[in-house]
Structure 1
Amino acid sequence: MTHDVQALSDVDIHVYEAVASQAVEHGGASLAGLVRASGLTEEEVRECLAHLIEHGYVLPRGDGYALGPHTFEVEY
């Protein structure tokens, strides 16, 4: 799958960075942790996660989320 980072909104990237940060620290990201880390509402985080999953940037894993294959770096 070819990833097009330009297809992501600034909010999507913000949530992606939160997933990346939690994945590095904890091996995965929980929805509650992403809501806390992003400062967004649960609904906003869920919408971003759906978009990120659709494009392969984030993968559902157990009851949380992990990074999918990625072709760009983020700062977190």
Structure 2
Amino acid sequence: MHSQHDVQALSIDDNTVYEAVAALATDGHAAHTADVVHMTGLPEETVRRSLAFLTENGWLKARGGVYALGPHDWEVDYR
């Protein structure tokens, strides 16, 4: 179940990528790979690997190279 996702179980890179996607989402922006690379300072290959992992495991949803948060039962507030 998605409610069992625990951000503390993610690697540091995966958590960093997830946080960047969440921050973009709360600002109403789409999360493109280049935006996540820019925000995190991580190498593009690391970001792509994390985006794929997070998508495959239901943390994120991907659509045409744009990433959004997957289903979750908690709030995200980055203001």
Using the size of structure 2 for normalisation, the TM-score is 0.79
- Per-residue displacement from partner, 1:30-50 (whole Å, max 9, x unpaired)? 110000001001100001111
- Per-residue displacement from partner, 1:17-58 (whole Å, max 9, x unpaired)? 000011111342011000000100110000111111111001
Q: Distance in 1 between matches of 2:15 and 2:76?
A: 9
Q: Which of 34, 55, 58 matches 2:57?
A: 55
- What RMSD in Å do the two structures reach over aligned CA positions? 2.0
Which segments of 5 or more consecutive residues in structure 2 lack a partner in the other structure?
A: none
CA gap 1:7/1:35 in 2 versus in 1, 3 angstroms: same
The runs of 4+ residues in structure 1 deviating greater than 2 Å are 1-7, 70-76
Using the size of structure 1 for normalisation, the TM-score is 0.82
Percent of aligned positions that are identical: 54
Q: Which has the larger radius of gyration?
A: 2
Which segments of 5 or more consecutive residues in structure 1 lack a partner in the other structure?
A: none
**Aligned residue-pair number:** 76
